[in-house]
Amino acid sequence: MNIWNKEMETMPLAAMQALQLGRLKELVARVYRNVPFYRAKMEAAGVKPDDIKTLADINKLPLTTKQDMRDNYPYGLLAVPLKQIARFHSSSGTTGRPTAVAYTKNDLDMWAESLARTLVAGGLGPESVFQVAVNYGMFTGGLGMHYAAEKAGAAIVPASSGNPLRQAMLMQDFGVTAIVATPSYALHLAEAMQTQGIDIGKLPLKSIFCGAEVWSDGMRLEIEKAFGVKTYDVYGLSEIIGPGVATDCRCQDGLHLHEDLFYPEIIDPETGEILPEGQVGELVLTTLTKEGMPMLRYRTRDLTALTRKPCPCGRTGVSMQRVTGRSDDMLIIRGVNVFPSQVESVLLDMGATAPHYQLLVDRKNNLDELTVVVEPTEEGYATLGAAGMGKLEKAIQNQLKAVLNLKANVRMVPPRTIERSEGKAKRVIDNRKLA
């Protein structure tokens, strides 16, 4: 069944809720006692630790935001003395002051446990050779994946990010059976291997783990088609623990969230109201066991939904839908809400475009303009010609208007024109001077 921790991953709901409640009560009492920021927030909200008597009482507690983390950078949210901290990481993709996160030794062990569940769900085990093709350093991906894979018993190839031809050489030389990369980099790697005439089908690769970016089902299919193996969506964020909060199983029908470690809620991003099961909203997470820098009702800004439908894999916990976008990277163009994932789905559905694109946003004559820059596939570029490219641009423009209810300019560029990313792809370039 590819289950790492059967007790926790198949625990009956009543037992899980009892475990969560005990851990929540202990967490609230601990941060009230040890973290002045949380104590002040709780007092302002008129709530004391003794007020948490049921799981539903969590909505009495204040929400925590990324700005709160920046305001308390780097040590303001520590719940233990500095001498108990074993490691620091910081959030990727942050401009200006970063958000720091801190781990005790127990936190690092918990992280490896959580992420080992993720990797084992994708078939990793003692017979695996696992290539870590994400950055080592302050970014949580590299070291997180490394220690979790060791816990799962795999042999590690610590390649880090960059240099796709070197990555390909390592995959061939070491007989890599599983690899982790951002989805955009996985496609970049496939392109590089194809350009070098490497027969990807002859690799012993069995699974690809992808995360750190929002990626559509269409992009997933592109990656699986290029490599001929299943992909596994790894969800996480450094503010909570790093990668490994939730993951696909082989059924690929929602991500199993490790709710003995992370308590999830879905809220309305505008009102903060808790939404019912199955309704899309913003994911809020509470770290039930984290010691160094616990997070109480952290607003992830990721848009998803939670369900408890049974899964054939045997896991009994809550599942979250794959993230469809973020409430804070949503573009508002002429009053229309636009997510990059919507554009990506349209492009991949067209069939003649490569999964590399950028959204350029400008303001001209006080009006917002969206331009989608996209590449055709190699085959399409060779056969379409100038007239065909023009028709494809028009077809994409019409489909975008139908999906987004917004007119967008479309600009086709030759294959390999758009800069490839070795980390998170830069999808949006917003040139507006927004207040």
Assign residue 341 the CATH number of its domain.
Answer: 3.30.300.30
The verdict on 111 and 30 lying in the same domain is yes
The span from the CA of 200 to the CA of 189, in Å, is 11
Domain-ending residue, one of 259, 289, 323: 323
- Is position 103 within any domain? yes
CA distances to 107, 331, 346, 371, 421 from 388, rounded to whole Å, are: 56, 30, 18, 19, 28
Helices (H) then strands (E): counts for the chain: 11, 21
Query: CA 374, 233, 239 angle in degrees (round to 5)?
Result: 100
d(CA 190, CA 182): 12
Does 56 map to a domain? yes
Are the C-beta atoms of 414 and 381 separated by less than 8 Å? yes
Phi, psi of 172, deg, nearest 5: -75, -45
Residue 115's pLDDT is what?
A: 98
Does 276 lie in the same domain as 166? yes
Contact 157, 142 (CB under 8 A): no
91-94: long-range contacts, CB 8 A cutoff, minimum separation 24 = 91/66, 91/237, 91/238, 91/239, 92/135, 92/138, 92/139, 92/140, 92/141, 92/212, 92/238, 92/423, 92/424, 93/424, 94/66
Residues 415, 269 share a domain: no
Question: Whole-angstrom Cα distance, residue 92 to residue 161?
Answer: 14
Residue 433, pLDDT score: 65
Q: To 5 degrees, how large is the angle CA 245–CA 171–CA 90?
A: 35
**84 occurs within a structural domain:** yes
Q: Is residue 435 part of a domain?
A: no
What does the alpha-carbon distance between residue 64 and residue 130 come to, in Å, rounded to a whole number?
A: 35
DSSP state of 307: E
**Angstrom distance (rounded) from CA 348 to CA 345:** 5
Q: Which of 175, 159, 178, 177 is nearest to 167 (CA)?
A: 159
- For the chain, the first-to-last Cα distance in angstroms comes to 52
Which ranges of the chain have pLDDT less than 50? 92-95, 435
The β-bridge relationship of strands 100-104 and 85-90 is: antiparallel
* Distance (Å, whole) CA 413 – CA 46: 57
Note whether 259 and 348 are same-domain residues: no
Task: Say if residue 269 is in the same domain as residue 349.
Answer: no
295 with 343, same domain? no
Domain span at residue 66 reads 1-323
- Residue 48 forms part of a structural domain: yes
**∠ CA(315), CA(321), CA(325), 5° rounding?**
150
CATH of the domain at 106: 3.40.50.12780
Q: What is the CA radius of gyration of the chain?
A: 22
Q: How many domains does the chain have?
A: 2
Residue 387 · residue 349 · CB < 8 Å: no
Q: Which helix (H) or strand (E) holds 283?
A: strand 281-287
- Of 285, 303, 323, the residue that ends a domain is 323
Cα–Cα dist 428/435, whole Å = 18
Does 394 share its domain with 288? Answer: no
The one-character DSSP state at 16 is H
Whether residues 36 and 95 share a domain: the answer is yes
Q: Do 161 and 63 sit in the same domain of this protein?
A: yes
* Nearest C-alpha neighbor of 189 from the set 414, 423, 389, 411: 423
Among candidate residues 189, 231, 228, 225, the one with its CA nearest the CA of residue 211: 231
Final residue of a structural domain among 323, 346, 377: 323
Is the N-terminal amide bond of 243 cis, ω within 30° of 0? no
Query: Is residue 242 within 8 Å of residue 232, measured between CB atoms?
Result: no
342 in a structural domain: yes
Look up the pTM and report it: 0.85
Q: Are residues 45 and 91 in the same domain?
A: yes
DSSP-assigned beta bridge partners for residue 333 = 336
Both tokens assigned to 314: 């045997």
Domain match, 357 and 300 both: no
Quick one: pLDDT at residue 430? 87
Rounded to whole angstroms, what are the CA distances from 298 to 94, 137, 309? Answer: 16, 24, 25
Asked if residue 255 belongs to a domain, the reply is yes
Contact 249, 124 (CB under 8 A): no
Whether residue 230 lies inside any domain: the answer is yes
Residue 249 and residue 362 in one domain: no
Q: What pLDDT sits at residue 95?
A: 41
Strand partners, 130: 156, 178
Which pLDDT value is given to residue 337? Answer: 78
